[in-house]
Amino acid sequence: MPLPLETAPFSVCPMDKKDSRRWHDMGGLDGAPIDMAEHDYALWEKRVDALLVLSTTKGFFTVDGLRRVIEDLGPAYYEKMSYYERWVHSVNQNLIEAGAYSLGELGAKMAEVAARGETYGDCAGCHDD
């Protein structure tokens, strides 16, 4: 049996009330102008997209899982992060929750990558081929 609307864990009021939506629901609100021009995605953004596709295809999580973590960021982080920064945070959290790797393994890999240098040029010769 569904909860009565008065006890629902989220707001279900009509949209004309001030508190009728969760903080991340910005549909229909005034905002900054949107640049509709096509643009190339940065390499890291393409990689985040590919990681999402691979992770969901392998069954680690669903798009609903991606959305859950993004919506749980809270307004302070949600507003500061770019679209793909939110995605990479969510993909990472979902992969940890799914047991794909641990926080310790992630930290060790991040330290290894950081030691390679800031740029691809700095990393030249890093690999034993």
Range scoring the smallest mean pLDDT among 4-18, 40-54, 115-129? 4-18
CATH number for the domain harbouring residue 48? 1.10.472.20
Q: Does 5 fall in a domain? A: no
pLDDT score of 47 more than 60: yes
Note the pLDDT of residue 15.
41
Question: What are the Cα distances from residue 23, in Å, to 5, 14, 50, 73?
Answer: 19, 15, 28, 10
Question: What are the Cα distances from residue 60, in Å, to 38, 52, 97, 98?
Answer: 31, 10, 9, 6
What contacts 97, CB < 8 A, 6 or more positions away?
61, 65
> Dihedrals φ, ψ of 76, to 5°?
-60, -50
Dig out the tokens for 74 from the structure. Answer: 């809270």
For the entire predicted model, the pTM comes to 0.69
Q: Does 6 fall in a domain? A: no
Q: Does 31 fall in a domain? A: no
Averaged confidence pLDDT in the chain: 80
59 is in which domain, residue-wise?
Answer: 41-118
Total domains in the fold of the chain:
1
